[in-house]
Structure 1
Amino acid sequence: MPPKKEGGASKKKKVNMEKNGHNPGQKKTPLANNTSQTKSPIASLILEVAKLTKMQAILNLIRRFQALAKLSLSDRNKVFARDNRQYKMF
């Protein structure tokens, strides 16, 4: 009786796929291109919130730089010194 064959891709194909960084049997697609996930209202909401969060962070940085630009040089240095103390870990 011949030995049972393993199902799925051939051994050679699996090795080639692993060398190329692919996992056989697992399809990797980004969320933006995966239509089954982006059709979900929750997924589209999550994507929209992520975009808004990035935009809000950028706006906050712009406001902070504008506020710093209005300060004198000595006051600006005090703000930077305060921030450096706040983020020091050791």
Structure 2
Amino acid sequence: MEISGTGAILTDWAYDCYRYGTLDDLIQNDTEAMNDESTLERVLKVAIWCVQEVPSLRPTMRKVTQMLEGVVEVPAPPNPFPFNENSYS
């Protein structure tokens, strides 16, 4: 998935990479990230939760820390910008 020159918003593109299972587009040529795809997915899901357009959906910092440490499971995040009609996929 190429966003260069499209005016795509990074958070929308990252969410689309998560949604369509194309995480490798996010980490091109990063061998360390490719070798730990479960951590990459967890961190990306936490990030998506943190940028939710609706503030009440965003986790507390305590919850973010717990999710990043792997203490609690990170649920699948919803589209962070449900009111945005643009699609970059």
Larger helix proportion of the pair: 1
Q: Which has the higher contact order (CA 8 A, sep 6+)?
A: 2
- Would you say same fold, with TM above 0.5? no
Give me the TM-score of the superposition, normalised by structure 1: 0.26
Give me the TM-score of the superposition, normalised by structure 2: 0.26
